[in-house]
Amino acid sequence: MKILVVDDEEPARRRLIRLLRDIPGTEVVGEAGDGEEALQQIAMRRPELVLLDIRMPGLDGLSLAQRYADLPPLIFVTAYDEHAVQAFEVNAVDYLLKPVRPERLGAAIERARHRLLATQEARARALSTVAHRAGPSSRIVTVTRGVIRFFDARDVTRFWSSDKYTVFRADQDEHCTEETLSTLEERLGAHGFLRVHRGELVRVVRVKALRSEDGIHEVELEDGQIARVSRRSLSALKAALGLAE
């Protein structure tokens, strides 16, 4: 997590930076001594979280948060407890009193991580919804540990259900998307995907072989994956493959 530390007292900034070094997954990308400098650093460094003092010369922390709605998530760090209500009114992640205890800072950072992840997942779902409404988009969106990735379904041979997720293989690895198999079936039909089993969706042009033995049907795909084929779907699959009944 990329963090900007904002405090008008250099010793206070140094202490926070030292404490952050002991928290895994954090990186201090910049520091600032007042609100105006903080705005410049935010624009330049693109932090994912800001540790923000309240009482500073010029543009103070609360005024900064109240005036600019598009700031990264904020954790206020201050020696004064009377501003807590105002801090949470601007949707602060947490409110820490100086001197900050390491375990308290760690808990606040973890809370910020959860908020950031929830925001990223919401954006991914929104992107997926927009793509679905816009028509037969081939874009697949995944979110893993806060990283949003995009894939082209035309590079995928098979989707299959696993628990509450839909799984697919791309870039020599397995990935999960929250889109259901039914949603993908509807959206990707225009790109040659066919539901061959209640838990399997395959791209027909990537089918290498169709096997039937002892009443069990399956297809082998170009990348070596094997997908089950239900009896109910067998006729539709054969038709899509150009095979006569």
Q: Which helix (H) or strand (E) holds 158?
A: strand 158-162
Q: How many CB atoms sit inside 10 A of residue 104's CB?
A: 14
Query: What's the pTM value of the predicted model, to 2 decimals?
Result: 0.52
pLDDT tens readout for residues 101-147: 999 999 999 999 888 877 766 666 665 555 555 445 788 988 876 67
pLDDT tens readout for residues 135-155: 457 889 888 766 788 999 999
Q: Are strands 158-162 and 147-152 parallel, antiparallel or unpaired?
A: unpaired
Residue 60 has what DSSP assignment?
-
Residues 6+ apart with CB under 8 A from 74: 49, 50, 52, 65, 87, 90, 91, 92, 93
Q: Is the per-residue pLDDT at 1 higher than 80?
A: yes
CATH number, domain 2-118: 3.40.50.2300
Class of domain 135-240: mainly beta
Per-domain residue ranges of the chain:
2-118, 135-240
Residue 95's region, left for phi above 0, alpha for psi from -120 to 50, else beta, is: beta
Q: Are strands 165-170 and 158-162 parallel, antiparallel or unpaired?
A: antiparallel
Q: Are strands 27-32 and 2-6 parallel, antiparallel or unpaired?
A: parallel
